[in-house]
Each structure stands twice: as C-alpha cells, then as structure tokens.
Amino acid sequence: MTTANPATTGRQIPDRLGSPAARALKSWEALLLVTAIAIFILNSLASPYFLDPWNLSDATFNFTEKAMIAFAMAMLIVAGEIDLSVGAIIALASTVMGVAMAAGAPTPVLVLLGLGTGLACGAFNGLLVARFGLPSIVVTIGTMSLFRGISYIVLGDGAFTGYPPAFAWFGQGYVVWVITVELVIFALAALAFGILLHRTNFGRMVYAIGNNATAARFSGIRVDRVRFILFLLTGLMSGIAAICLTSRLGSTRPSIASGFELEVVTIVVLGGVSILGGSGTIPGVVLAAFVMGLVTFGLGLLNVPGIVMSIIVGALLIAVIALPRLWRMARGA
C-alpha cells in the first residue's frame, strides 16, 4: 500500500487496472471460483445423486431466471441505483401474456408482449428516477406494489392456464442433450452484459456514475440517460425471465416470482458488486449464480430444511459483505 488507507479516505475512481482495488476484485472472483469448485466437490461426495447430468441440468433452474435479471441489476447497482420491482414486473408481464393467451394469441405474440411489458415497466421506473429525480429505492418499492397490484386486480385468486405447447419450449425445452433453453439464454445474457459493462464506453460511464455522479455529469456524461437505459435493461431482462418462468410453470398466478427481488440482489452482492455502487463485475455475478445454485441444490439433495438453507445463504451473504472490509482493515493496519 503506497496510498493512505482507502477505508478511511472514501471511494476512489480507479484510473488504472493495475491498482490495488482491481487486484482485490480479481482475487474476489478467483475466490468465488474456488468456492464453487469446492462446493461442487463436497456435493459429489455428500450425495450419490449429485453427479448426474440430468440432475445437474434440473438444478440450473434454481438460478437461471434470477441470474438473467441479476446481470442487469448488477449494472444498475454499479451505477448506484437499485430496482426492487423486478419480481412484480415478472408478475405483470406474465399476467399480460396470460390475458393474450386467453384471447388466443400465438406464441410469438406472447413473447413480444412479455418483452414489451418488461420494457414498459422498466421505462416507467426509469422515467420516475431519471426524469423526476426520485430515489430509485423509493420508486421501485412503490412500483413493486403497483405492478403486482395490477396482476391481483386482473387475476384475483384465479389463474391463467393452458399456454400453447410451443410456449413450453422456453422454460421446459432443451437445446441439445441436457443443455436447457434457459441455460443458453443465461449464457448469452452473461456474454452480452459482460461485453456491455467491460468492453464499451457505456460500461465505463456506468462505473463513473456509480463512483461519483456529479463528477460524471461534469465530465459530459448524460447521467440521466444512462440511468434510464439501465432501468430499461432491467425491465427487459425481467420480461425475458417472465417468459421463461411462465413457460416453466405453464401457468400465471399473481403471486408468481414473489421474493425474486431479494434473491436477485443476493446474487449480485455475492458476486462482489458493491452495494454502494462503483465496483463489481459480470463474471463475478455469473460465478455467484453458480455458487447459489450449487449450494441450494446440494443442500436440497441432502433434504436440509429450507430454514437451515436460508441461514447458510444469509451467513454467506454477510460474510461476503463483511470480509472485504475486514480484509482492507487488516491490510491497512
């Protein structure tokens, strides 16, 4: 350490990739990778059913839909914003698809409506945050009730069922062998968001805004426009997740995807994205999704009660948030 202790001087914009911060991040992903491998090995030792291609394929459903949203959420959190309405967007998008399905719409129309609803919800959130300058946590807590409320008005305690067989492909189909359609969408989304955040000007702007929005604005970045686009992307990914989840469940109920927002944020934070904004990577989020999926599926195979599983995931999350800080304090002391 040549500079002062960063824990006491506040966040800084890293201007070179060789900085200590970047190295710490790198080691964070390495750590996640090692953890994922360790959990994989432990799982295979603990349960004779773990190392089965079909079982592992089933296990990916535990995280694929949430992880798709997590990529967009990661960029949003890097930019210093958050969207807690993602679960509600899924509910509304699913309801819109259900209404269209009941009216006899074919699969392509359902998909377009799912994407369109996601985008519209994202635009609504983005407008309130970027145009009217409202805090995103307040806006999205509001829209969380609003979007799901509309679903409840439309559906009450009823459900839409009877989606066309072709629609089942998204959530129940396989591309080749055990590789599910959802897993492919997950991989493509990881690639797209990885490039967007780490290889484009837009990605650099997101980091700049997250570190210091005022400075970013003075540097000529159209901060509100970037924020709006990020909410749009989160809405879009929620729409895609809605298509996958609705297809997998084969039905729509207003309670669909309840609690998704917190699980998505958990994956993002576990992936090493700072909840304060300004740092984090997509590969970290990908690894975190696998770690979460492996932990929950492995414990599930051993019939560990969900309550114990929640405790383990909670402990993991607190450890993840606390450890980097302790690490820095130890290094700085």
Partner 1 sequence: MSILRKALTTAAMATALVAGSAQAEDMRIALVVKALGIGFFEAANKGAQEAAAELGGVEIIYTGPTDTTAEGQIEVINSLIAQRVDAIAVSANDTDALVPTLKKAMDRGITVISWDSGVAAEGRQMHLNPSSSALIGNTIIKLAADHLPEGGEVAVLSATTTSTNQNTWIEEMNKVAGNYPDVKVVGTVYGDDLADKSYREAQGLMQTYPDLKAIIAPTSVGIVAAAQAVTDAGKIGQVNVTGLGLPSEMAGHVKSGASKSFAIWNPIDLGYSATMIAYHLAKGDAKAEPGATIPIGRMGEVTLDDNTEAAMADPFTYDASNIDEFSSIF
Q: Which of 102, 315, 318, 321 binds partner 1 (CB under 8 A)?
A: 315
Cβ of residue 34: shortest distance to partner 1, in angstroms? 6
Q: Which is nearer to partner 1, 61 or 124 (CB)?
A: 61
Q: Which of 21, 29, 35, 86 binds partner 1 (CB under 8 A)?
A: 35
Long-range own/partner contacts, residues 53-57 (CB < 8 A, 24 or more apart): 53/177, 53/178, 54/178, 55/301, 56/178, 57/174, 57/178, 57/179, 57/180, 57/183
User: Which stretch in 18-26, 35-43, 180-188, 209-217 sits in contact with partner 1 by CB under 8 A?
Assistant: 35-43
Burial 24-49 (b: 16+ CB within 10 A, else e): bbeebbeebeebbeebbeebeeebee
Cβ of residue 86: shortest distance to partner 1, in angstroms? 14
User: Which stretch in 131-139, 210-218, 220-228, 319-327 sits in contact with partner 1 by CB under 8 A?
Assistant: 319-327
Q: How far apart are CA 292 and CA 70, in angstroms?
A: 12
Q: Which is nearer to partner 1, 188 or 302 (CB)?
A: 302
Cβ of residue 330: shortest distance to partner 1, in angstroms? 9
Cβ(154)–Cβ(95) under 8 Å?
yes
Q: How far apart are CA 280 and CA 142, in angstroms?
A: 27
251 binds partner 1 (CB under 8 A): yes
- What's the token pair of residue 177? 């062998």
Dihedral in degrees, nearest 10, Cα atoms 80, 85, 87, 91:
-150
Q: Which of 7, 146, 316, 317 binds partner 1 (CB under 8 A)?
A: 316
Cβ(178)–Cβ(295) under 8 Å?
no
Q: Which of 13, 123, 150, 301 binds partner 1 (CB under 8 A)?
A: 301
Cβ of residue 54: shortest distance to partner 1, in angstroms? 8
Q: Which is nearer to partner 1, 27 or 145 (CB)?
A: 27
Cβ(230)–Cβ(136) under 8 Å?
no
Question: What DSSP state is assigned to residue 304?
Answer: -
Q: How far apart are CA 7 and CA 25, in angstroms?
A: 15
The interface mask with partner 1, positions 51-90, x = CB under 8 A, is -x-xx--xx-xx----------------------------
- What's the token pair of residue 62? 């535990």
Question: What DSSP state is assigned to residue 161?
Answer: E
249 binds partner 1 (CB under 8 A): yes
Q: Which is nearer to partner 1, 212 or 252 (CB)?
A: 252
255 binds partner 1 (CB under 8 A): yes
Segment 101-130, which members bind partner 1 (CB under 8 A)?
Answer: none
Cβ of residue 296: shortest distance to partner 1, in angstroms? 7
- What's the token pair of residue 121? 């919800």
Question: What DSSP state is assigned to residue 62?
Answer: G
Q: How far apart are CA 32 and CA 184, in angstroms?
A: 22
Segment 150-209, which members bind partner 1 (CB under 8 A)?
Answer: 159, 161, 168, 171-172
Residues near 208 by beta carbon (within 8 Å), at least 6 away in sequence? 13, 215, 216, 219, 221
Q: Which of 69, 77, 241, 257 binds partner 1 (CB under 8 A)?
A: 257
Q: Is 1 helix (H, G, I), strand (E, B) or coil?
A: coil
Q: Which is nearer to partner 1, 19 or 255 (CB)?
A: 255
Give the count of residues interacting with partner 1 (CB under 8 A): 56
Strand partners, 179: 176
Residue 4: its H or E element: none
Which residues lie near partner 1 (CB under 8 A)?
31, 34-35, 38-39, 42, 45-47, 49-50, 52, 54-55, 58-59, 61-62, 159, 161, 168, 171-172, 245, 248-251, 253, 255-259, 295-310, 312, 315-316, 319, 323, 327
